[in-house]
């Protein structure tokens, strides 16, 4: 990464000391999108709920080594012989469920990404009720790698949905899918999961008023922070559980694909990175908008390799990106024993009145 692409990290909230965002990975002036690169074949997903996807195992035939004019010899060692005992990994536990598709990171005990699809019809149907859903461990993930319910007990963090339950009300089964711990990450409760993050999820749902099809990818990030003592950048995050088991992300991202309902039409693409910390409701969501490329560099993932640049539009240029602050107190009562009801004053982001956005 070129030094020219690294911007000074800005504070997320001076009032609350919320931390820093992924802005360090790119400047606000995003360079013109490059033409889509060639795409390597993707791994097919079976209809089974969860499968483990290891990296390809190389061939075990040692390659011949040329030795000057003496021809070739076979190497005296065979490192790939290790594979007769098993493949070390990494392995991604890929789950395909009614409400979501997710890839689980065994090392950090959090999902790497969770994808969902919402439409006006899916949000208008209400056949599921979260009071009938329970948080459950994902038995499809090997026991030694999975997140445990006890890890969250008295941890000080909420079990934060990556795909929110409110997006899956169209059936009880779909809503239950969102309560697997493989769809959870430790999130700060008051000021974030129960407040700003909830308003952001509501913003995503409101996109279906304009767009007939909205796809969202959500996941955690673990971003570096500059040490004030020596000026060096370091990644530091808490790990909850006894023994320590689940990493606490420093940030969360959402990558949004707002579609026009066709397979060849324009796609409004938006990416946002928020700190896992209290954020004032007055903070404009556009302050957390970043280029998709920045999320890709920070996460090691790719999101739109098959979307031609000609079909891409910037989401916040195509529609008003602003939060509508609502009362969530009643809904919070059902969030779980560790989550208290929080009443937020009813008001609208100033940007919702002006219709403008700054970059």
Model confidence band, residue 58 (pLDDT cutoffs 50, 70, 90):
low
Identify the pLDDT of residue 332: 56
Position 18 pLDDT exceeds 70: no
H or E stretch covering 354:
helix 350-354
| Digit-coded pLDDT (tens) for 61-112 | 666 667 666 677 888 999 999 999 999 999 999 999 999 999 999 999 999 9
Alpha helices (H) in the chain, listed in sequence order? 120-124, 149-152, 172-177, 196-206, 292-299, 315-318, 329-332, 350-354
Q: Which residues pair with 102 in a beta bridge?
A: 95, 114
Domain ranges across the chain = 94-354
Q: How far apart are CA 274 and CA 250, in angstroms?
A: 9
Instruction: Output the CA–CA distances (angstroms, integers) from residue 307 to 3, 39, 44, 97, 267, in the order listed.
Output: 28, 11, 19, 24, 8
174-191 pLDDT, tens digit per residue, is 999 999 999 999 999 999
For residue 329, give the DSSP letter. H
Q: Is the pLDDT of residue 291 over 60?
A: yes
| Weakest-pLDDT range from 48-52, 143-147, 202-206, 214-218 | 48-52
- Tally Cβ neighbours within 10 Å of residue 168: 28
Phi (first) and psi of residue 97, to 5 degrees: -125, 175
Which spans in 163-309 are helix H? 172-177, 196-206, 292-299
* Fold exhibited by the domain 94-354: Extracellular Endonuclease; Chain A (3.40.570)
Could you report the per-residue pLDDT of 109-131, keeping only the tens digit for each? 999 999 999 999 999 999 999 99
Length of the chain in terms of residues written: 359
For 156-199, give the DSSP string: S-EEEESS-GGGGTT-HHHHHHTTBGGGEEEE-IIIIITTHHHH
Longest dimension (CA), the chain: 82
Query: Catalytic residue positions?
Result: 161
Q: Which of 276, 296, 288 is nearest to 225 (CA)?
A: 276
CA–CA separation, 19 and 12 (whole Å): 6
Supply the pLDDT for residue 323. 97
Per DSSP, the three-state class of 213 is strand
CA 89 to chain CA mean position, Å: 22
In the chain, what are the helix, strand and coil shares in percent, each to the nearest 5? 25, 25, 50
Token readout for 113 is 């990404």
Give pLDDT, residue 74. 85
Contact 149, 139 (CB under 8 A): no
- Annotated ligand binding at 242? The verdict is no
* Residues 6+ away with beta carbon under 8 Å from 32: none
Determine the average pLDDT of the residues in 230-244.
96
């Amino acid at each position: 990464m070129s030094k020219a692409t690294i911007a000074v990290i800005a504070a997320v909230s001076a009032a609350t000391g919320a931390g820093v965002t992924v802005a360090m990975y790119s400047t606000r002036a995003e360079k013109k999108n490059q033409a889509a690169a060639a795409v390597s074949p993707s791994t097919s997903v079976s209809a089974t709920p969860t499968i483990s996807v290891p990296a390809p195992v190389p061939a075990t035939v040692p390659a011949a080594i040329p030795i000057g004019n003496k021809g070739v010899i076979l190497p005296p060692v065979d490192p790939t012989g290790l594979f007769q005992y098993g493949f070390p990994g990494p392995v991604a536990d890929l789950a395909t469920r009614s409400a979501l598709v997710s890839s689980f990171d065994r090392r950090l005990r959090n999902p790497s990404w969770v994808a969902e699809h919402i439409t006006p019809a899916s949000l208008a149907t209400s056949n599921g009720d979260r009071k009938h859903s329970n948080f459950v461990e994902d038995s499809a993930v090997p026991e030694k790698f999975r997140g445990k319910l006890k890890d969250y007990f008295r941890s000080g963090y909420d079990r934060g949905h990556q795909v929110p339950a409110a997006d899956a009300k169209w059936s009880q089964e779909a809503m239950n899918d969102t309560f697997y711990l493989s769809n959870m990450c430790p999130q700060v409760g008051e000021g974030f999961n129960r407040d700003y993050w909830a308003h952001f999820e509501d913003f995503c749902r409101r996109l279906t008023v304009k767009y007939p099809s909205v796809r969202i990818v959500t996941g955690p990030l673990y971003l570096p922070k500059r040490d004030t003592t020596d000026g060096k950048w370091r990644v530091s995050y808490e790990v909850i559980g006894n023994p320590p088991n689940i990493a606490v992300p420093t940030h969360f991202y959402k990558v949004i694909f707002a579609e026009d309902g066709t397979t060849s039409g324009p796609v409004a693409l938006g990416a946002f990175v928020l700190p896992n910390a209290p954020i004032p409701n007055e903070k404009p969501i556009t302050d957390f908008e970043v280029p998709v490329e920045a999320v890709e560099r920070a996460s090691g993932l790719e999101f739109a390799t098959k979307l031609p640049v000609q079909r891409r539009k910037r989401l916040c240029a195509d529609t008003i990106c602003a939060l509508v602050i609502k009362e969530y107190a009643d809904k919070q009562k059902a969030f779980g024993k560790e989550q208290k009801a929080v009443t937020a004053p009813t008001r609208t982001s100033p940007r919702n009145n002006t219709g403008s956005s700054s970059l």
